[in-house]
């Protein structure tokens, strides 16, 4: 069934979009990532103009993250104080990120820098996560599944300590603020929610338990993507509500399924899966940069749509 | 005597100027883009009206063009730098139609002379205007633009696609693709003889979004804050509905 999208001004298959939304929603529920790093390139491939794809996927992420967050709230796996601290950092960061983005845009090449950002961050995060979780899996097999005691490091010696009950942490607010800030900057530049950076940063830098990480990350992502959606809707007019609705319908269903599947799997297995996925997307993007493109020229309509 | 001569000249001039005229019709002069819009075929037909009997003259030809709204387009070129493919240079094409179709009753080179093509900008190369490009090989960029848009079915050349019966009735069908942009689509019909244009007829096909499509589009431009808020509300509501739905389902 073909559907004409009013803002994107293209006609696409409605079921294809529902399927894409469902796939990304599932990832959102399972891993706590918004899926922006996946949906945006997929929408490009479906023939949606890049500007519309970026803005609309932000809107879609709000829906799937909210749906997944509700299931996490029901299971009490959201650390709201931690989420708020991350969010404060995140909003400051995304404001900074927009400034950086505009500077890069003025110099051209923003396309390339975004892609390079993706390759570097996805590669690093995915690689680290894969190595670490494979090691953890081996360790848990050897020691018969005994939990590994978290070590104290420099993170625990900073001032402004705060108790995060759900995470079982008593740490300074500075590291989560900084993590939020960094993620906010990257999120604004790369046009994603930032879950794929946030999740490993919370696990490895802050020592938040994996089960709590996902719900908390979702909590933060909702606000960041809602902010991005409003920004795109009011400045570039590139949020396509019909496209968003289709992705959302697929996405919310997928998110529910994903949240269920996520609880059935071991934390290490979840992390390995996410690492493999992140590396796969990274590999695809790296290939695009390295291989000779079939079409050396590309078009860009000036002055926004119409 | 001079008066007689003048009158004769007037008659001769007048008759030759309006000897052959285009009368045309369209299957539709409006294209409504609805939610289920999947492209549209437009039938363009017409006849040649003669005030004098058809003398044994060289054969007539018909050329029809449809052009979407013209907008500036940046064409970027990639080159290999440090092992990766990077956009290195670009040309801004000042006005490129979002859609362009040319149809003719015979090969274009036969029915249209180069001079007339230049004057009326009929062929694709002429319809795209690029002034002030600072790169030497501008032609490569224009070619790339035509190639990319042709692959998307937005630019098409259909030589010999017009049925022209008895040098009087002509008819052709031009398909508009699904990825159509709103606007006025200028339609021109040229009647030619030996490459020279004998008559020209201009009309407009209005392509417009209707219904929900129209409403959403207008809202997004006129009330962007409300539109954005509505999008977010939709997202939150859908997220909640799905969660509640699944919770009820599980019980």
pLDDT in tens, B193-203: 887 888 888 88
Residue among B110, B78, B74, B77 nearest B92 (CA): B74
pLDDT at residue A175 greater than cutoff 60: yes
* B230 reaches A (C-beta below 8 A): yes
| Tokens 């990077």, residue located | B86
End-to-end CA distance of chain A: 25
pLDDT at residue A147 greater than cutoff 80: no
pLDDT at residue B12 greater than cutoff 50: no
Strands (E) in chain B, as ranges, are 20-26, 30-33, 40-50, 60-67, 70-81, 84-97, 100-104, 155-158, 163-165, 169-176, 183-193, 196-209
Residue among B47, B68, B54, B51 nearest B127 (CA): B68
Query: Per the CB < 8 Å rule, is B145 touching A292?
Result: no
Question: Residue A306: its pLDDT value, please?
Answer: 33
Question: Residue B162: its pLDDT value, please?
Answer: 85
**Which of B185, B226, B231, B245 has the most A C-beta neighbours within 10 Å, making it the best mutation to test the interface with A?**
B231
- Who's near B139: CB < 8 A, 6+ residues apart? none
Q: Tell how far CA B42 is from the center of its chain.
A: 12
pLDDT at residue B92 greater than cutoff 70: yes
Question: Residue B55: its pLDDT value, please?
Answer: 63
What is the DSSP pairing of strand B100-104 with strand B155-158?
A: parallel
Condensed to tens digits (0 to 9), the pLDDT of residues B153-188 reads 888 888 888 888 887 888 888 888 877 888 888 888
> Which residue in the set B36, B214, B228 is minimally distant from A239, CB to CB?
B228
Residue numbers in A near B241 (CB within 8 A): 252
Over its C-alpha atoms, chain B yields an Rg (Å, rounded) of: 25
Question: Residue A33: its pLDDT value, please?
Answer: 66
Which range (B27-31, B125-129, B221-225) has the least confidence? B125-129
* B220 reaches A (C-beta below 8 A): yes
Report how far residue A52's alpha carbon sits from residue A306's, in angstroms, rounded to the nearest whole number. Answer: 13
| Per-chain mean pLDDT for chain B | 78
Question: By CA distance, what is A47's nearest residue in B?
Answer: B179
Question: What's the whole-model pTM score?
Answer: 0.70
Condensed to tens digits (0 to 9), the pLDDT of residues A22-70 reads 888 787 777 766 677 778 777 877 778 777 787 788 888 888 788 778 8
Report how far residue B119's alpha carbon sits from residue B114's, in angstroms, rounded to the nearest whole number. Answer: 9
Question: Residue B251: its pLDDT value, please?
Answer: 60
Q: Which residues of A180-198 are buried (b: 16+ CB within 10 A; e: fewer)?
A: bbbbbbbbbbbbbbbbbbb
pLDDT at residue A151 greater than cutoff 70: no
Q: Tell how far CA B22 is from the center of its chain.
A: 20
Backbone angles phi, psi at A49, to 5 degrees: -55, 140
In total, the C-beta contacts within 8 angstroms joining chain A to chain B are 191
Residue among B194, B185, B173, B171 nearest B22 (CA): B171
For the residues of A263-299, what is the DSSP string, one character each?
Answer: HHS-HHHHHHHHHHHHHHHHHHHHHHHHSPPS--EEE
The ipTM estimated for the assembled molecules is 0.72
Q: Which residue has the higher pLDDT, A159 or A254?
A: A254
Return the SS3 of B105.
Answer: coil
Q: Which residue has the higher pLDDT, A296 or B184?
A: B184
Condensed to tens digits (0 to 9), the pLDDT of residues A67-122 reads 778 878 888 888 888 888 888 888 888 778 777 776 776 655 666 777 787 788 77
């Amino acid at each position: 069934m073909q559907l004409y999208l009013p803002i994107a001004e293209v006609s696409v298959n409605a079921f294809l979009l529902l399927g894409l939304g469902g796939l990304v929603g599932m990832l959102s529920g399972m891993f706590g990532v918004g899926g922006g790093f996946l949906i945006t390139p997929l929408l490009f491939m479906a023939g949606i103009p890049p500007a519309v794809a970026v803005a609309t996927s932000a809107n879609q992420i709000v829906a799937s993250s909210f749906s997944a967050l509700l299931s996490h709230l029901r299971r009490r796996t959201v650390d709201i104080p931690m989420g708020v601290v991350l969010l404060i950092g995140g909003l400051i960061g995304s404001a900074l990120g927009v400034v950086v983005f505009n500077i890069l845009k003025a110099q051209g090449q923003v396309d390339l820098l975004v892609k390079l950002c993706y390759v570097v961050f996805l590669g690093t995060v995915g690689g680290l996560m894969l190595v670490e979780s494979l090691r953890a899996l081996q360790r848990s097999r050897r020691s018969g599944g005994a939990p590994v005691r978290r070590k104290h490091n420099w993170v625990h010696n900073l001032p402004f300590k705060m108790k995060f009950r759900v995470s079982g942490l008593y740490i300074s607010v500075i590291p989560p603020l900084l993590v939020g800030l960094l993620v906010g900057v990257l999120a604004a530049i790369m046009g994603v929610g930032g879950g794929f950076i946030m999740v490993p940063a919370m696990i490895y830098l802050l020592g938040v338990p994996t089960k709590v990480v996902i719900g908390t990350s979702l909590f933060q992502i909702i606000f960041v993507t809602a902010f991005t959606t409003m920004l795109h809707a009011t400045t570039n007019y590139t949020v396509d509500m019909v496209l968003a609705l289709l992705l959302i319908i697929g996405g919310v269903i997928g998110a529910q399924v994903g949240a269920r599947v996520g609880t059935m799997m071991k934390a290490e297995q979840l992390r390995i899966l996410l690492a493999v996925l992140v590396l796969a997307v990274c590999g695809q993007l790296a290939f695009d940069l390295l291989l000779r493109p079939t079409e050396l020229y590309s078009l860009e309509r000036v002055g926004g749509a119409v | 005597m001079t008066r007689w001569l003048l009158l004769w000249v007037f008659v001769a001039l007048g008759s030759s100027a309006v000897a052959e005229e285009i009368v045309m019709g369209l299957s539709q002069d409006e294209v409504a883009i609805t939610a289920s819009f999947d492209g549209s075929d437009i039938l363009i037909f017409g006849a040649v009206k003669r005030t004098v009997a058809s003398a044994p003259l060289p054969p007539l030809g018909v050329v029809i063009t449809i052009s979407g709204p013209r907008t500036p387009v940046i064409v970027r070129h990639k080159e290999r730098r440090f092992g990766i493919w990077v956009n290195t240079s670009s040309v801004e094409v000042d006005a490129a139609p979002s859609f362009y179709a040319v149809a003719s009753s015979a090969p274009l080179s036969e029915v249209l002379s180069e001079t007339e093509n230049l004057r009326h900008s009929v062929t694709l190369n002429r319809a795209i205007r690029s002034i002030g490009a600072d790169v030497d090989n501008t032609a490569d960029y224009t070619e790339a633009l035509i190639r990319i848009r042709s692959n998307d079915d937005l630019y098409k050349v259909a030589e010999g696609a017009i049925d022209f019966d008895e040098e009087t009735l002509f008819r052709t069908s031009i398909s508009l693709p699904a990825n159509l942009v709103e606007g006025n689509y200028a339609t021109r019909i040229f009647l030619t003889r030996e490459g020279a244009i004998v008559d020209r007829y201009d009309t407009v096909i209005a392509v417009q979004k209707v219904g929900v499509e129209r409403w959403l589009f207008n809202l997004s431009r006129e009330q962007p804050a409300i539109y954005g808020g509505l999008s977010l509300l939709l997202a939150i509501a859908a997220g909640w509905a799905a969660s509640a739905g699944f919770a009820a389902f599980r019980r």
